[in-house]
């Protein structure tokens, strides 16, 4: 599940947290004003709105190296290299995770799932409770594990563990600085919960536990209703279809159609599922496209968007 707007928000929140805590004092600042990058936490600026304290640079060279690495933020491969170099030079820096998390999102945006998971796992070695990294790692496993994989049970178990742990750490381990509007914090955390529930639903569906999948997909939609993921809605429709609850499934399939464009992978699958359910329920099909056979529900795994 890739929702670019929220990815940008999550990175922006992390970056703003660092900026508020670690930006060196500018020459125009009054003499005597503390430099967070050199002095560490200050009473006025370091108290986060909720969750844990945002990361800080301890020294000016560390901060400068971080800034230099972040110049590669639009090139995940270059950023990964810079992050590794930064981590080697500053092995105790609190900023290592920011670099790896940004690289994780960069690889996600270019659909490089293997590198996305690798960056998530590097961040989890630094901070095992980071909900973004937990979700990033779990998402790749959930989307790429197939029923024919010999190690599918182990992979699904790991993804479930990571997604469930992310749900536990959303309120305690997101570093958000003071001053961020509460509605932005709520949206950010809602997105993370929605992603975690979507992962759990995808795994349950893959295990043919359709009632469980249905419940998780509902929770995913409810956790972040402002930006409903059409793939989650489509998968919910198919989970209901698998339980022979055709009228309920048709309602969700129609919703998925409303949320998607006809010429996209998700849109094509949503319309195919709607048409199948219209046949099964005896409804009329408003689409001029040929109706597919009503024998089986489609594969609910369109490419992530």
**So what's the pLDDT on residue 68?**
97
Q: Mind listing the pLDDT tens digit for each residue in 202-219?
A: 999 999 999 999 999 999
In a domain, 102, yes or no: yes
Average pLDDT, the chain: 83
In a domain, 195, yes or no: no
Task: Quickly state the pLDDT bin for 175 (edges 50, 70, 90).
Answer: confident
Average pLDDT over residues 178-192: 91
In a domain, 24, yes or no: no
pTM: 0.80
Who wins on pLDDT, 66 or 53?
66
Say how many domains are in the chain. Answer: 1
In a domain, 119, yes or no: yes
In a domain, 150, yes or no: yes
Average pLDDT over residues 67-73: 96
Q: Supply the range of the domain harboring residue 170.
A: 1-14+52-177
**So what's the pLDDT on residue 88?**
98
**So what's the pLDDT on residue 210?**
98
Instruction: Return the CATH number at 5.
Output: 1.25.40.10
Residue 282 has pLDDT above 90, yes or no: no
In a domain, 204, yes or no: no
Q: Mind listing the pLDDT tens digit for each residue in 115-139?
A: 999 999 999 999 999 999 999 999 9
In a domain, 302, yes or no: no
Who wins on pLDDT, 17 or 246?
246
Q: Mind listing the pLDDT tens digit for each residue in 228-240?
A: 999 999 999 999 9
In a domain, 67, yes or no: yes
Question: Residue 176's beta-bridge partner residues?
Answer: 50
Identify whether the C-beta of residue 107 lies closer than 8 Å to the C-beta of residue 78: no
């Amino acid at each position: 599940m890739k929702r670019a707007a929220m990815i940008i928000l999550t990175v922006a929140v992390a970056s703003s947290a660092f900026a508020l805590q670690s930006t060196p004092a500018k020459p125009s600042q009054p003499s005597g004003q503390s430099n967070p990058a050199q002095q560490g936490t200050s009473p006025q600026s370091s108290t986060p709105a909720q969750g844990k304290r945002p990361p800080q640079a301890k020294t000016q060279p560390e901060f400068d190296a971080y800034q230099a690495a972040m110049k590669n933020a639009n090139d995940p491969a270059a950023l990964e290299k810079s992050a590794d170099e930064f981590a080697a030079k500053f092995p105790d820096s609190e900023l290592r995770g920011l670099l790896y998390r940004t690289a994780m999102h960069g690889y996600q945006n270019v659909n490089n799932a293997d590198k996305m998971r690798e960056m998530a796992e590097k961040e989890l070695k630094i901070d095992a409770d980071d909900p973004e990294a937990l979700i990033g790692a779990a998402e790749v496993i959930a989307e790429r594990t197939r029923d024919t994989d010999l190690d599918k049970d182990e992979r699904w178990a790991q993804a479930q563990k990571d997604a469930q742990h992310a749900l536990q750490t959303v309120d305690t381990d997101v570093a958000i600085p003071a001053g961020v509007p509460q509605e932005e914090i709520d949206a950010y955390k809602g997105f993370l919960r929605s992603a975690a529930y979507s992962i759990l639903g995808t795994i349950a569906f893959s295990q043919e536990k359709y009632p469980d999948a249905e419940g998780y997909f509902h929770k995913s939609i409810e956790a972040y209703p402002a930006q409903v993921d059409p793939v989650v809605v489509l998968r919910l429709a198919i989970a209901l279809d698998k339980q022979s609850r055709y009228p309920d499934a048709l309602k969700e399939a129609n919703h998925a159609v409303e949320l998607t464009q006809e010429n996209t992978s998700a849109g094509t699958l949503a319309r195919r599922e709607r048409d199948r359910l219209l046949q099964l329920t005896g409804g009329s099909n408003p689409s001029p496209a040929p109706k597919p056979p009503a024998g089986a529900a489609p594969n609910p795994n369109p490419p992530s968007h």
